Chain A
Amino acid sequence: MKLLPLVLRGIIRNPIRAGLTLAGVAVAVFLFTGVISLERGMSRMLGISAGENVLVVAEKYQGCPVQSKLPAAHGDAIAELPAVAAVTRTLFVMSACSRATDLVAVHGIEPGNYRDFRDLRISDAEYAAFSGEKGAAIVGAVVAQRYGWQVGQAVTLQELGGISFTIRGIFEAPGNSLENAILVDLEYLQLATSQPGVVTLLLVQPKEDAEAGALAAEIDALFDASRAPSKTSPEHAFIASAVSGITGLVDFSRWLGFASLGLIVVGVGNSMSMSIRDRTREIALLKIAGFRRAQVLRVILAEAVASALIGGLLGAWLAAWAVSRSAFSISVEGYTIVPHVSIELILLSTLLAALMGLVGSYLPARAASRLTVPHALREVD
Chain B
Amino acid sequence: MSTTQPTVVEVRDAHKIYQRGGERLDVLQGVSLHVEQGEFLALMGSSGSGKTTLLNIIAGIDFPTSGTVVVNGRDISHFREDQLSAWRTRNIGYIFQSFNLVPVLTAYENVELPLLLLPLNRKRRHEQVMTALDLVGLTDRKDHFPRQLSGGQEQRAAIARALATDPPLVLGDEPTGDLDRVNAESVMHLVAGLCREFGKTFIVVTHDPKVASAATRVLHMDKGVLVAESGLPLAEEVRK
Which residues in A have some Cβ–Cβ distance to B below 8 Å? 2-3, 6, 9-10, 13-14, 281-282, 285-295, 372-374, 377, 380
A14 to B82 CA separation, bound complex (whole angstroms): 29
A292 to B92 CA separation, bound complex (whole angstroms): 15
Q: A292-B86, A380-B99 are in contact. List 10 more A-B contacts (CB 8 A).
A: A13-B104, A282-B103, A288-B59, A288-B92, A289-B113, A290-B114, A372-B61, A373-B61, A373-B62, A374-B56
Distance in angstroms from A289 CB to nearest chain B CB is: 4
B residues near A288, Cβ cutoff 8 Å = 59, 61, 88, 92, 94
- B89 to A289, Cβ gap below 8 A? yes
A288 to B94 CA separation, bound complex (whole angstroms): 7
Distance in angstroms from B116 CB to nearest chain A CB is: 5
Q: Say yes or no: is B102 at the interface (Cβ < 8 Å to chain A).
A: yes
Instruction: Select which of A6, A13, A281, A374 is within 8 A of B116 by beta carbon.
Output: A6
| A9-B109, A287-B61, A372-B61 known; A293-B104 Cβ under 8 A | no
| A9-B109, A281-B99 known; A292-B85 Cβ under 8 A | yes
B residues near A291, Cβ cutoff 8 Å = 85, 117
What 9 A-B pairs are tightest by C-beta distance, nearest first? Answer: A290-B89, A13-B104, A373-B61, A289-B114, A292-B85, A292-B82, A290-B88, A288-B94, A289-B113
- A282 to B85, Cβ gap below 8 A? no
Interface size class of B (residues with CB under 8 A): 20 to 34
Among residues of B, the one whose C-beta sits closest to the C-beta of A286 is B113
B residues near A286, Cβ cutoff 8 Å = 102, 113
- A3 to B116, Cβ gap below 8 A? yes
Among residues of B, the one whose C-beta sits closest to the C-beta of A376 is B61
- B82 to A289, Cβ gap below 8 A? no
Q: Say yes or no: is B161 at the interface (Cβ < 8 Å to chain A).
A: yes
| A286-B113, A292-B86 known; A374-B100 Cβ under 8 A | no
Among residues of A, the one whose C-beta sits closest to the C-beta of B83 is A292
A178 to B113 CA separation, bound complex (whole angstroms): 59
- A285 to B61, Cβ gap below 8 A? no
A residues near B103, Cβ cutoff 8 Å = 282
| A2-B116, A293-B82 known; A10-B104 Cβ under 8 A | yes
| A3-B116, A295-B117, A374-B61 known; A290-B104 Cβ under 8 A | no
- B81 to A374, Cβ gap below 8 A? no
A residues near B59, Cβ cutoff 8 Å = 288
B residues near A377, Cβ cutoff 8 Å = 96
A23 to B153 CA separation, bound complex (whole angstroms): 37
- B104 to A285, Cβ gap below 8 A? no
Q: Say yes or no: is B105 at the interface (Cβ < 8 Å to chain A).
A: yes
Among residues of A, the one whose C-beta sits closest to the C-beta of B94 is A288
- A289 to B99, Cβ gap below 8 A? no
A residues near B100, Cβ cutoff 8 Å = 285
A126 to B102 CA separation, bound complex (whole angstroms): 66
Distance in angstroms from B231 CB to nearest chain A CB is: 30
B residues near A2, Cβ cutoff 8 Å = 116
Distance in angstroms from B149 CB to nearest chain A CB is: 16
Distance in angstroms from A52 CB to nearest chain B CB is: 59
B residues near A372, Cβ cutoff 8 Å = 61-62, 81
- B113 to A293, Cβ gap below 8 A? no
Among residues of A, the one whose C-beta sits closest to the C-beta of B161 is A289
A289 to B90 CA separation, bound complex (whole angstroms): 9
A residues near B56, Cβ cutoff 8 Å = 373-374
B residues near A287, Cβ cutoff 8 Å = 61, 85
| A10-B104, A14-B104, A373-B56 known; A293-B81 Cβ under 8 A | yes
- A374 to B62, Cβ gap below 8 A? yes
A374 to B64 CA separation, bound complex (whole angstroms): 13
| A287-B61, A288-B94, A290-B86 known; A282-B117 Cβ under 8 A | no
- B117 to A9, Cβ gap below 8 A? no
Distance in angstroms from B173 CB to nearest chain A CB is: 9
- Residues 37-63 (chain B) with a chain A CB within 8 angstroms: 53, 56, 59, 61-62
A287 to B60 CA separation, bound complex (whole angstroms): 11
> Which residue of B53, B87, B92, B113 has the most chain A CB atoms within 10 A of its CB atom?
B113
Distance in angstroms from A302 CB to nearest chain B CB is: 14
A3 to B117 CA separation, bound complex (whole angstroms): 9
A residues near B88, Cβ cutoff 8 Å = 288-290
A325 to B92 CA separation, bound complex (whole angstroms): 60
Distance in angstroms from A48 CB to nearest chain B CB is: 54
A132 to B63 CA separation, bound complex (whole angstroms): 91
A207 to B100 CA separation, bound complex (whole angstroms): 82
A374 to B85 CA separation, bound complex (whole angstroms): 14
Among residues of A, the one whose C-beta sits closest to the C-beta of B164 is A289
A293 to B113 CA separation, bound complex (whole angstroms): 16
Binary per-residue interface labels of chain B (136-174) against chain A in the complex, 1 for a CB within 8 Å, 0 otherwise: 000000000000000000000000010000000000000
A380 to B97 CA separation, bound complex (whole angstroms): 13
A294 to B82 CA separation, bound complex (whole angstroms): 9
B residues near A6, Cβ cutoff 8 Å = 105, 109, 113, 116
A288 to B88 CA separation, bound complex (whole angstroms): 7
| A281-B99, A373-B62, A374-B62 known; A289-B117 Cβ under 8 A | yes
> Which residue of B61, B87, B89, B100 has the most chain A CB atoms within 10 A of its CB atom?
B61
Distance in angstroms from A12 CB to nearest chain B CB is: 8
Distance in angstroms from B121 CB to nearest chain A CB is: 10
